[in-house]
Amino acid sequence: MTTASGIEVSLSNQDQWEKFHPMTEMVVTRKVGRQLFPHLNYILRGLDPNVKYGMSLHFERMDNKKYKFSANKWEEFSKGDEIRSIDVKLHKDGWRLGGHWMENPVSFDYCKITNNPEMKKEHTVLVQSMHKYMPVLSIQKDGDTEKEEFRFRVTEFMAVTAYQNKNIKELKVDMNRFASGFKKNGGHNKSPNSDSGSSSRGVKRQSTSPEVYRSVTPPSAPWTPPYNPYGAFPINQMYPWQMPMGMYVSQNPHAVQQNPMYMGMPINNMGQWNMGNGNGMENQMPQAELPNYTF
């Protein structure tokens, strides 16, 4: 596209845009905004290399209609929402010499679109979902009051909050190198038996943590001491609720009696603590001397 001033503009990635046109969809998000893909990359020619220019981008509503996707095509749904004022974004490089802009493609790949009118982040543009837009590149020469605008029909798109056309979604995944995680061999789709050892998303993996004994009342099955990440406590450092009723301590009953918590608590002739465990023996330690534990 060439203007009367001699400025020539083209898309460096027009082949990508042509693969999506005329069904192009761009997803908008409320929280952080969403980048466009394909990107807007322009090749400029015919600028004065020694004069400064400003490059700006905005998104133009193509009509006053709201659309819906039905029967694998877009069709008019209702009258469009109120058209908002145009939000023009100056390129992040600011005003530069024409030689700078012509050296490499001018890219607006960092720009994001959102449907949140409260978002005021830099380089984020407000668009309305289910409406059709066209990106517009504006070039202004330093000292001029007028801008020259460039529109490419192939770059028009429908703003959506989620892809409506699955073919467009699949095409974007195939072409966008930043979407590698969603490809067939990507991180989101790896088999649990893959060489990497990672499991597929949504598959619950078996816990490898040791089971912790949490019950205050010992089970009827053979008792196992509670899990202790710092090593097993000596028996003379255990609290009453950590010891099952009738626990045998005959191997070293005197060592256990050295624990102040159990002093005065007699051991019967079978090497068991007399703790009122239902076997007919009552606790001979005065109740007032027992610690008051509350659960």
**Angle at CA of residue 191, ends 188 and 197, nearest 5°:** 95
Third-level CATH fold of 8-179: Immunoglobulin-like (2.60.40)
Distance in angstroms (rounded) separating the CA atoms of residues 201 and 77? 37
- Divide the 295 residues of the chain into consecutive groups of 10 and give the mean pLDDT of each group: 91 97 96 96 98 98 97 96 95 98 98 95 96 98 96 98 96 83 48 43 42 44 53 52 48 52 51 46 47 46
**Angle at CA of residue 157, ends 1 and 101, nearest 5°:** 40
pLDDT of residue 253: 52
Buried b vs exposed e over 108-133: b needs ≥16 C-beta within 10 Å? beebbbbbeeebeeeebbbbbbbbbb
pLDDT of residue 280: 44
**Angle at CA of residue 127, ends 126 and 129, nearest 5°:** 140
* Pair type for strands 157-160 and 112-114: unpaired
> Taking a C-beta distance cutoff of 8 angstroms, is the pair 159, 66 a contact?
no
Pull the structure tokens for residue 63.
């009509």
